[in-house]
Structure 1
Amino acid sequence: MSPNNERMRQNSKIPRSEVSNLKSEENKKKSSKSFRGDFLSISADSETRLDPGPVLPELLDLLLNPNLSIKLWDTIDWLKWLMAAGKTPDEFFNIVRRYDNATTCGLVWTANFVAYRCRTCGISPCMSLCAQCFQEGNHEGHDFNMFRSQAGGACDCGNSAVMKETGFCHRHGSQAQLNKPEVPPDLLAIADAIMPRIFLRFIQHCREHSNDRIGDVLEAMEDSSLFLDLLQELSRLGAAMRTIMTKALTNPMVYRDLTENNSSEYMRQTVDAYNEALNSIPFGEVPPGYEDISTLNGPLVHKTFLDEIVFWTVKFEFPQKLVCLLLNMLPDTEYEDAFARAFVQHYSRISVMLVSSGDSETLSNRVVHVSVQLFSDQLAMTIQSYLRNPDMVGTDPLSGFTEIPCLYSENIDNRHTLRDWCDRLVFNNEPLALDL
C-alpha cells in the first residue's frame, strides 16, 4: 500500500471492537429484521417511504468504512443480510427473481465463450445469442453458425433493434413478460437505501489506487473482486434489482451528496487523488476545426457514480470484472442510455489509452466488448443528441487525419475524422470498425 493510501486509511479509522460485534449471523438476521419492522412504513397510496433514522447509516459507516479491507467476506455477507430484511439472502434473492420483467436476455460473456449467430433472424451482423436462448428460439432451417467469441459479447435475445422478434425465445420480448406481477413496494426499500453507499465504497477504493502502476491496479481490482461479484450477483437478479442499481448509479443528487457534502479528512484526500487522476490522462491531438468540441479537449465533468466508474474503467484499462458489471446492467434502458453517454464522454481518453497501453491487444478486445454492445442505431441517435455533433474523432497523436462525409443525416454538414493507423496492432483488432 502506498504512503498516500495508508494516510487516507488512518483518517477513517473506527474501533475494531465495534466491527467484531457485527460478525454473528444471529446479529445479522436480527438487525436486518428490525430494519424491516421499525423503519419501513407503507403509506395509503402504497408507495414505500424509507426512514432509516441514524441506525442504518451508522451501521453502514461501520461496514463500509474504508479503513477496513474491501475484500472482507463478512462485509459482503452483512450487506446481503441487510437487503434481505429478515429473510435469508437466498430466500430474498429467489423472491426478487420472481419480479424480473426484463424483455431482453443480456447475458454477458468473455473471450472464448461459445455462442450462436443467426443470419436469418439478425438485423445487425453483430447479433449474438447464448446457447439457452438459441435452443429455446425458433431457428429450425435458419442460416446460423456457432462461434467462439474473441473479445466477449452479450446475448441479444429480446432486442428488436438487432434481431427479428420471430427469433426470440419464449422468455424474452415485449410479449413475454405481460403477466409478471408488480414488485411489492417494500421488497427492495432497504436495498434502495444501501445501494449508493456500496457504489461510494467502490469509488473510494479506486481513488485510493489512482496513482498505482498497472500491475498494482490489477491487484487492487482483484482485492475488489468480492465487491464486484456482489454487484454482478445483484444485477443478475433481474429488472427489479437493476432498477434500484440504476437509480443509485445515475442520480446526480445522490452522487453529489455522498462525494461533495462530506467534510471528513479522508474524503478530502480522496477528492485530491481523484482530481489528480482526472488530469493524468492527456488529451489527444485534436484536428483543426474541432477545438470547440468539449468532449474532445474539455475537462471531464462527472455528475453521477456511473460517470466516475466509467472513468476508472478507462484509467485502469478496462478490468474484466468491471467491464462485465457495466455490461450486465444494459437490459435496463435508462442505464443503457446513461452508460452510452458516459462512454462517449470518455472516448477520446480511451483512444489515448489504446495507443499508450503496454497490452494493446487485450485492451482493444475489451473496448470492443463494450462498444459493440452499445452502438445500435437507436443508441447512435442518443449519442448524436448528447454530443450535438455526430463526429467520431480519432486522437492518435502519431497519425494523420482523413475526413469522409457524415452519414447520420443529410441535413447536417459534418464530417467524420478517421485515424490512419492501419499498421498498428489496435487497428487489426478493429475496436473502431466494430463500434457503429
Structure 2
Amino acid sequence: MEQSPGHVLMKKGKRLAAAYIQAKCANSLHHRSLDDLLNILLNPAVAIDDVNTIDWCKWLMAGGRTPDEFSSIVRRYDNATTCGLVWTANFVAYRCRTCGISPCMSLCAECFQRGDHDGHDFNMFRSQAGGACDCGDTSVMKETGFCDRHGPKSQGNKPAAPTDLMCVTEAVMPRIILRLIQHLRESSKSGAQDAHLVAIQEADAFLTMLNDLSAMGAAMRRTMTSALTNPSIYHQLTDIGVLTETMALTEFGKYMIESHKIYEEAVNSLPNPAPLHEHKDIAALKVVLVHKTFLEELVFWTVKLEFPQKVVCLLLNMLPDPDYKESLTQAFVLHYSRISMMLEKSSDPDTLSNRVVHVSVQLFSNEALALRMAQNLNLLHVMVISLKYMMVKILIPSTLHEADKNFHYVVDCGRQVMREHCYWPLVSDLNNVLSHRPVAVKFMSDVALLEMWFSFLSFFQGMNVNQRELSTHVEFEPNTYYAAFSAELEASAYPMWALLSHLRKPESVDLTQRVLNAALSALQDWFDAIYITQPNLVSDLESYQVSFHLPLHRYLAVFMCQAINLQGRTLEEVLPSHNMLQLIMIHPLRVQVSARL
C-alpha cells in the first residue's frame, strides 16, 4: 500500500524532514507533503498534549536546526520597542508616578532598575490581578523613564529577520492555532461543570509551546499575530461552506461539520444583555456573535472558560505588537457584555475578576486606543449597559417612606453580585478609561449616556435602609452594610472623582453643567418615585428609618462645588429651585440626625 507524503516525510526523522520542508518553503514552493504531514501531526483524534506532536512542531519550525538553535537565532531579530513582560498575581512590580501618564502603568523589576528613577515618586507593590511591563510604551509613560533597552529609539540598529528564517513557521502557525481552537471547542461538548478546567489541563503543554514561541521576540510574535488576525486564514480553515460534497463525506469533513455545530451551540449559550432599540446596532450588543478571526474566537473561549491563566498570558504576551493590541482590544470589547454575565454567575468571582482586569488594564490604559474604542465600538455605552444590566436583575422595592406609594427599586445588598463585588472589574475598567480626558469629555458630552449613568446610580439611591428598633433588642446585625458601602464607593464615587479630575478650568464648565442637569433630573425622578413632593410630607414612622446611600445627592453637591470653586460659576447660577432645594435637604439632614442618636 502506497504511503502518503506525510508518512514518507516522518520516516526521514524530524531534522531531515524539517530541512526538506525548509528548502521548499524558502523557494516559495507550497509542497503538499507539508499539508499532509500536518494532517497527521495535528489530527484532532490525537491528544493535544501528545509529546511527540509538540516536538515535531518545534523541529519543523526550526527548519533543520535544533529548536534551541532556532530560538537563539530568532531572538537576535527581536526589535520590539516595548518590554511587555507578563506576570500573574503576587508578582513584585514597580509603579512610578513621576514617569507615568496612565495611573495603571507598571514596570518589571529589571526595567525599573535599568531606568533612571532617582528622586521619583515611585512604589514597589505586589500585583493582585497580574499585569505587564509598560517600559517603552509612550502612550502609558514618559520616555525619560524608559530603560536603555526599550523605547522608540532603542532598537533602531537591529536588522529585520531574513525572509527564509520564518517561512516554515508562517506556513505551520495557522494549523497550530486551529488545533488549539478545535480542542477548546471540544471542551464544551461534555457539558460537565469542570470541563473547562480539564480542557486547559489537557492543553497545558501545547499552550506552553505557544507561550515559549511568543517569548522569542518580535519576529516570532509577528508570525503568530498574523495568523491570529487574518480573516482569510480563519475563513479558509474553519468555514464549512468551503467543503465540497465529496469533502463533507470524508472523516475530516464530518469532523469539521461537528466542530462547527459545537461552536455554534457554545456561542448561543453565552448570551449578552438584551439591548434597547436605540443600541441594537452596537456590535458588542448584537444578539448574534460573529467571529471573523482566530483571535476573536480565542477571546470567546477565554471568556467562556473563565479566563484560564495560560490562555490569558498567551493573549497578553503578544501585546508589544501594536496592530495585534488593537485587534485584541476590539475582540475584547466585542465580548465585553458577555464577560459581565460570566462574572455574575461564576462560582469563583474573585479569581475571575482578577483575571479579567489582568487583560483589560493592559488594553484600556492606552488613551488613543481607549478613545478609538469609544468612538468606533461605543465602549462607554457597552460598559454602562453591562453594569446596569448586572444590577437590574437584583433589584428589590425600596422601603423608604410609604411602601404602597413607592415605586422606586434599589439593589439587594444580600445578593452575590453585591456580596462578592462581581461588578468590580467593570467599574475598574470604567475608571481606567475615564482617566483619559478625551474619553471623559466624550462621556460628559453625551446627554443620553449621562441619563443612562444616573439611571444606574439611582439603583443605589436609598439602598440598604436602616430601621430604628424601638421595642426589642436586635440580636444579629445584617452584614449587608459592607456590601452597600463598598458598592457606593467603587461603583459611584470612584467614577465621580475620575470625571471631576478633568473639570478644573472655566472652559470645561459646560460639561459640569451637563452633569448637574443630569443629576437634578435623576433626583426629580427619585422624589417622584418615593412620592415626596413637599418637605413636610414625612410621617413620624418615616423618621425612624434612614439610608446612608445618596449618590445622586453627592454628585450634585460635588459638581456644584467644582463649578463654583474652580470654574467661575456663582452659587445662584448652580442652585436648583427653592422647592427642589428643600426636597434635596431632607435625606442628608436625616443622615446627620441619625448619626447623633
Q: Structure 1 length as normaliser, TM-score? A: 0.87
Instruction: Verify the 8 A CA contact 1:283 1:352 in the aligned structure 2.
Output: yes
Deviation readout 1:307-344 (Å, 9 max, x if unpaired): 00000000001001000100111110110000000000
Relative contact order, CA 8 A, sep 6+: which one is greater? 1
Structure-1 residue corresponding to 2:139: 161
Distance 1:315 1:328 in 2: 20
SS at match of 2:46: coil
Structure-1 residue corresponding to 2:273: 284
Q: What amino acid is aligned across from residue 215 of structure 1 in structure 2? A: D
Given the alignment of the two structures, is residue 135 of structure 1 paired with residue 113 of structure 2, yes or no? yes
Residues 90 and 120 (structure 1), Cα distance of their counterparts in 2 relative to 1, 3 Å cut: same
Deviation readout 1:29-54 (Å, 9 max, x if unpaired): 0000111223421xxxxxxx3x2321
Instruction: Verify the 8 A CA contact 2:25 2:168 in the aligned structure 1.
Output: no
State which of 218, 235, 243 in structure 2 corresponds to 1:256: 235
Distance 1:426 1:275 in 2: 39
Given the alignment of the two structures, is residue 108 of structure 1 paired with residue 82 of structure 2, yes or no? no
Structure-2 residue corresponding to 1:309: 298
Q: What amino acid is aligned across from residue 398 of structure 1 in structure 2? A: K
Instruction: Verify the 8 A CA contact 2:88 2:129 in the aligned structure 1.
Output: yes
Q: What amino acid is aligned across from residue 31 of structure 1 in structure 2? A: A
Instruction: Verify the 8 A CA contact 1:127 1:162 in the aligned structure 2.
Output: yes
Structure-2 residue corresponding to 1:12: none
Identity %: 52
Instruction: Verify the 8 A CA contact 1:71 1:226 in the aligned structure 2.
Output: yes
Pick the structure with more helix per residue: 2
Question: Which moved further from structure 2: 154-163 or 206-215?
Answer: 206-215
SS at match of 2:181: helix
Distance 2:41 2:488 in 1: 46
State which of 365, 368, 374 in structure 2 corresponds to 1:378: 368
Instruction: Verify the 8 A CA contact 1:341 1:386 in the aligned structure 2.
Output: no
Distance 2:145 2:328 in 1: 27
Question: Which moved further from structure 2: 377-386 or 357-366?
Answer: 377-386
SS at match of 2:95: strand
Deviation readout 1:128-152 (Å, 9 max, x if unpaired): 0001000100011211111000000
Distance 1:252 1:372 in 2: 26
Distance 2:71 2:485 in 1: 44
Structure-1 residue corresponding to 2:348: 359
Runs (4+) off by over 4 Å: 18-22, 399-402, 410-414, 416-422, 424-436
Distance 1:38 1:32 in 2: 10
Structure-1 residue corresponding to 2:23: 37
| Correspondence 1:145-160 to 2 at 5 A | 145-160=123-138
Question: Which moved further from structure 2: 169-178 or 388-397?
Answer: 388-397
Q: What amino acid is aligned across from residue 407 of structure 1 in structure 2? A: A
Structure-2 residue corresponding to 1:174: 152
Structure-1 residue corresponding to 2:186: 208
Structure-1 residue corresponding to 2:169: 191
SS at match of 1:407: helix
Q: What amino acid is aligned across from residue 224 of structure 1 in structure 2? A: A
Shift in Å at residue 290 of structure 1? 2.9
Structure-1 residue corresponding to 2:104: 126
Instruction: Verify the 8 A CA contact 2:295 2:328 in the aligned structure 1.
Output: yes
Structure-1 residue corresponding to 2:377: 387
Structure-1 residue corresponding to 2:205: 226
- Structure 1: gaps (5+ residues): 1-14, 42-48
Residues 374 and 429 (structure 1), Cα distance of their counterparts in 2 relative to 1, 3 Å cut: farther
Instruction: Verify the 8 A CA contact 1:365 1:431 in the aligned structure 2.
Output: no
Higher-Rg structure is 2
Deviation readout 1:40-93 (Å, 9 max, x if unpaired): 21xxxxxxx3x2321100000000000000011111111110011011000000
Residues 389 and 204 (structure 1), Cα distance of their counterparts in 2 relative to 1, 3 Å cut: closer
Distance 1:334 1:131 in 2: 27
| Correspondence 1:233-272 to 2 at 5 A | 233-260=212-239, 261-262=242-243, 263=248, 264-272=253-261
Distance 1:408 1:106 in 2: 30
- Structure 2: gaps (5+ residues): 396-408, 411-429, 461-482, 500-597
Distance 1:426 1:67 in 2: 50
- Cα RMSD after superposing both structures: 3.0
